[in-house]
Every structure is written in C-alpha cells, then in structure tokens.
Structure 1
Amino acid sequence: MPADSILLVMDMLNDLVHPDGMGAKTYVPLCEERGVHANTALAIRRARQAGVMVGYVRVGFSPDYAECPPGSPVFSKAKDNGVFTLGSWGTEVHADFAPEPGDPDIVKHRVSPFYGTKLEPLLRAQGIGRLILCGVSTNGVVSAAVREGHDRDYSCVVLEDCCAGATREEHDFALAGLRRYAQIATAADVTL
C-alpha cells in the first residue's frame, strides 16, 4: 500500500553529486559508472506514479557552522572547505532529482537522518512504516538510515543502484552489512 511508504532521497546534493560540486572527485565517478542519477530519477518517477511520498534528506549547517561537530572525522573540515552551507547552491538537491512543492525536506547535521531531525515525527504523523532508501553515501547516510530505521521498527528497502560510496569496495561492503537489516532492490524492481 503506497500510503505507508516513503522514498527518501538522501544527500543527493550539488556539493556531493554534481560534477562542479566540492565532492565531485569523491562520488561522481562511481555515480556515473553505476548510473545512479538515471536510476534515482527512475525511482522518484515510479514512486510518484504509485502515490508514494518522496522526501529529501540533506546534510547542512548554518553559515556560522554552529551545528558542525569540530571533532568529527566526517564533518570537521566542512567549515574550512566551505561545504554543506545551508542556503548555498551546494546544499540544494541536484536538479536531476529536484523536489516538488510539498515534498518533505529533512535537514540533518550528522550522518543519521534521524538524529535531531523532523524525520521521525513526519513518519509517525503520516503513518509510514516502510522506508525506501537511496543516496550517498551507501556506508554513511544509507547505512545509518537502515540501522536506525530497523531499530525504530520500520521496514527498510535499499535501492542499491541508486546509491554510491567513494569506491565500489566501500559501496559493496556497506551493502553486505545491510542485507541483514533491509531488503536490497533496484529502482526498476522495487515493489511500490
């Protein structure tokens, strides 16, 4: 039943997946090799056609980086490198996956889409019990969403062809660990 599912498009930001983004050398090559952009666009199109809510999760910090954890191996250099600044082009969702008016926008300040965000209240208020997940990185936000979603009693589905890590090994290793907690599917074969 579509009403109990949501497709979460996570961290598909210009900073990370646009060829001109700050992280282009990290994620763009594997995204291109694996067809992640086309597959994600297909997943979004299929979800909308099936009446499944599409939500967007974006990492970002205020211009003064007050929420940025200085000791984090993931985020501590964000301020120095000028990335993930809310309100900038870099934290906008890539145009290939552009949100439509009314799509939920979940801003996060850590790897997890649940930590300190409006995601859980949104899911509960909408009666959502199934998370269909995609984005970058597979071993970051996707893995965190699956593990936390599982522990919060959501059914989780990872669209593996709509995800990427910095390397193929990173992506494959993350997927291997997630199979215990989530169904692994593709944009074309996921049941909506």
Structure 2
Amino acid sequence: MAADTILLVMDMINDLVHPDGMGAKTYVVKCRERNVYQNTTSIIRRAREAGLPIGYVRVGFSPDYRECPPNSPVFSKARDNGFFKLGQWGTEVYGDFAPQDGDIDIIKHRVSPFYGTKLTPLLSAMGVKRLLLTGVSTNGVVQAAAREGHDRDFECVVLEDCCAGATDDEHDYALAGVRRFATISSAAGVTI
C-alpha cells in the first residue's frame, strides 16, 4: 500500500506547537494531554521505515502579509500579532518532527492544504491515492484536508491521536463531522 500513500504533517510549526510559541496555552496543552508529540514522532518513523513520502504542510505569509485574507477572523489575528511569517522561527516545523532531505514542503495561505498550493499536482504526479492526515488543528487544516481530499478522490485517513484542537470539544466535533469523508484511525493502528 505504501507506493500510493503519503503522510501529511500539517501546521506542526513552532508558532502553534512549540512550548515557546503562541499556541503554548492551547495546542501545546492539548498535544501533551493527547500524546500527539509522541504519536506523530512514531508515525513519521514508521512512514520513513516503510518508504512513504512525507509532506509537511505549513501555513505562512510574506512578512508584509500580502497573501493574508483581509476579512479572515483566523488569519487577521495572526497578521495583527505578527505570527505565521515565512522565513522566521514560527513557521519552521517543530524540531521533534524535523523534515529530512527529500521530504515535501507545502506552503499554504489558507486553512485548506489544497487551496492555491502545489499539493494536488504533486500528489497526481506521484500517483498518490491515499492520504494519512495529522496535525493541528483538527477542526482546521485536518478537517479541511479530509473533506477536500475526499472530493478530489483521495482515500483519507485521519490519525486522530496525531491531531489536536484548541479544545477537546473542537477536536471531537471535527472528528464527528469528518467521519463521513475519512477513516479515523490511530498512529499505531493504521496500516502503512
């Protein structure tokens, strides 16, 4: 199955999941409670051992925020507070999940990893049919990837113990809504 599968590690960037990042009081707390750090490290290791490609999806904007939607409740807060600036520490992948040579880097300017990115043509060229989805937030990028991935004819698998919302309710609600579009699994339980 590995030949047609990719692991996507989404928005696991310092601004959101590093203890010194802006997400320290929300995502970091939930990632620790849910063992997301250990589970994500484990699935990345398993994916590498199986020869799966790994794609890192990162939200980020130019320093002047030219790509930032002016009326977005989510991204206008980032702009107003100086978060998600490309080329800075905050948009680098959290060190525990560090990309390696040959890993894929996808920069996005919206919630969806597909909107306005190179992800779709890349997956097509690689012959990918199955997406293993991880990251923060469950109710943001993970949910968007599962829904849009489904509509682009990918088999989507959400690794729920490699995801977190800012609250338990956000995480649980997102998973409940995504079950119609994706299989829900765990890092240890997914077949690679």
Letter in 2 for 1:24: A
Query: Size of the alignment, in residue pairs?
Result: 192
Letter in 2 for 1:122: L
Q: Which moved more, 1:18-27 or 1:30-39?
A: 18-27
What is the alpha-carbon distance in structure 1 between the residues aligned to residue 93 and residue 21 of structure 2? 11
* Corresponding residue number in structure 2 for 1:51: 51
Structure 1 runs (4+) greater than 2 angstroms displaced = none
* Corresponding residue number in structure 1 for 2:12: 12
Deviation string, structure 1 residues 111-169 (Cα, Å, up to 9, x no partner): 00000000001100000000000000000000000000000000000000000000011
Deviation string, structure 1 residues 90-127 (Cα, Å, up to 9, x no partner): 00000010000110100000000000000001100000
> Is residue 131 of structure 2 the alignment partner of residue 131 of structure 1?
yes
What is the alpha-carbon distance in structure 2 between the residues aligned to residue 39 and residue 21 of structure 1? 20
* Corresponding residue number in structure 1 for 2:185: 185
Shift of 1:23: 1.9
> Is residue 160 of structure 2 the alignment partner of residue 160 of structure 1?
yes
Shift of 1:70: 1.3
What is the alpha-carbon distance in structure 2 between the residues aligned to residue 151 and residue 16 of structure 1? 28
> Is residue 94 of structure 2 the alignment partner of residue 94 of structure 1?
yes
* Corresponding residue number in structure 2 for 1:27: 27
- Unpaired segments ≥5 residues, structure 1: none
What is the alpha-carbon distance in structure 2 between the residues aligned to residue 166 and residue 135 of structure 1? 12
What is the alpha-carbon distance in structure 2 between the residues aligned to residue 175 and residue 80 of structure 1? 30
- TM (norm. structure 1) is 0.99
State the SS of the aligned residue for 1:76.
helix
Letter in 2 for 1:42: S
Alpha-carbon RMSD across the aligned residues, in angstroms, is: 0.6
Letter in 2 for 1:112: S
* Corresponding residue number in structure 2 for 1:117: 117
What is the alpha-carbon distance in structure 1 between the residues aligned to residue 172 and residue 123 of structure 2? 28
What is the alpha-carbon distance in structure 2 between the residues aligned to residue 171 and residue 79 of structure 1? 25
What is the alpha-carbon distance in structure 1 between the residues aligned to residue 59 and residue 87 of structure 2? 12
What is the alpha-carbon distance in structure 2 between the residues aligned to residue 155 and residue 92 of structure 1? 28
What is the alpha-carbon distance in structure 2 between the residues aligned to residue 69 and residue 126 of structure 1? 31
State the SS of the aligned residue for 1:25.
coil
Shift of 1:83: 0.3
Deviation string, structure 1 residues 56-105 (Cα, Å, up to 9, x no partner): 00000001100011100110121221100000000000001000011010
* Identity across the alignment (%): 74
> Is residue 150 of structure 2 the alignment partner of residue 150 of structure 1?
yes
State the SS of the aligned residue for 2:132.
strand
